Amino acid sequence: MNLVKRNQTNPNSLFPSVMDELFKDWMGGSALSNSRVVPPVNIKETDQFFTVELMAPGMKKEDFNIEVDNDLLTISSEIKTEKNEEEGKFTRREFSYSSFKRSFTLPETVNEDEINAAYQDGILKITLPKKEEALPKPKRLIDIS
């Protein structure tokens, strides 16, 4: 019984080829492919606020950095991981790095002091409340004199 995993391209080799690893990573959704992905964003507007929803499953709230500077909202993340495996005389080290940065110009109507964010079920949700003067005014009846 052979317990050593053989290279599928070259059965006489004990190590996977670079191409095997590349395609496995690319097709399997590992960190290599994640490093090329910018999370999709939905932006909604109501009378009271704007909502930015960024889909980023598998992350933690600590992975995000959210900044507001000069009417520019920037959402970014940078994740570095390292994995070491030792078997006998061989050591396998894998590194992964993924990052993204999304920036949005805020409308003048946003109250920057009241912006808040929450991360739940793989979605980062940022709520951008509107300034009081930007809120819709209720209808009023005009008296005729």
Which residue range(s) make up the domain with 117?
Answer: 40-75+102-133
For the cut 50, the answer to whether the pLDDT of residue 120 exceeds it is yes
Let me know if residue 90 belongs to a domain.
no
111 within a domain of the structure (yes/no): yes
SS3 annotation, the chain: CCCCCCCCCCCCCCCCCHHHHHHHHHHHCCHHHHCCCCCCEEEEECCCEEEEEEECCCCCHHHEEEEEECCEEEEEEEEEEEEEEEECCEEEEEEEEEEEEEEEECCCCECHHHCEEEEECCEEEEEEEECHHHCCCCCCCCCCC
User: Is residue 5, in this structure, part of any structural domain at all?
Assistant: no
**What average pLDDT does range 66-77 have in this prediction?**
94
**Of 137 and 111, the one with more pLDDT:** 111
More confident residue, 34 or 58: 58
Q: What is the pLDDT of residue 36?
A: 52
Q: Average pLDDT over the chain, rounded to whole?
A: 79
* pLDDT value of position 60: 92
pLDDT tens digits along 32-51 = 444 457 899 999 999 999 99
CB neighbours of residue 25 within 10 Å: 16
- Beta-bridged to residue 62, according to DSSP, are none
User: Does some domain include residue 6?
Assistant: no
Q: Using the structure block, give the residue that is written with the tokens 């999709």.
A: 40
Which of these ranges, 17-21, 30-34, 77-81, has the smallest mean pLDDT? 30-34
Instruction: Tally the domains of the chain.
Output: 1
Nearest to 104 by CA among 123, 76, 64, 79: 76
Model confidence pLDDT, tens digit, residues 4-13: 444 444 444 4
Position 145 in a domain: no
**Residue labelled with tokens 């059965």:** 11
- Residue 134 vs residue 142, higher pLDDT: 142
CATH number at residue 125: 2.60.40.790
Structure tokens at 72: 């520019």
110 within a domain of the structure (yes/no): yes
Q: 15 in a domain, yes or no?
A: no
Q: Is residue 121 part of a domain?
A: yes
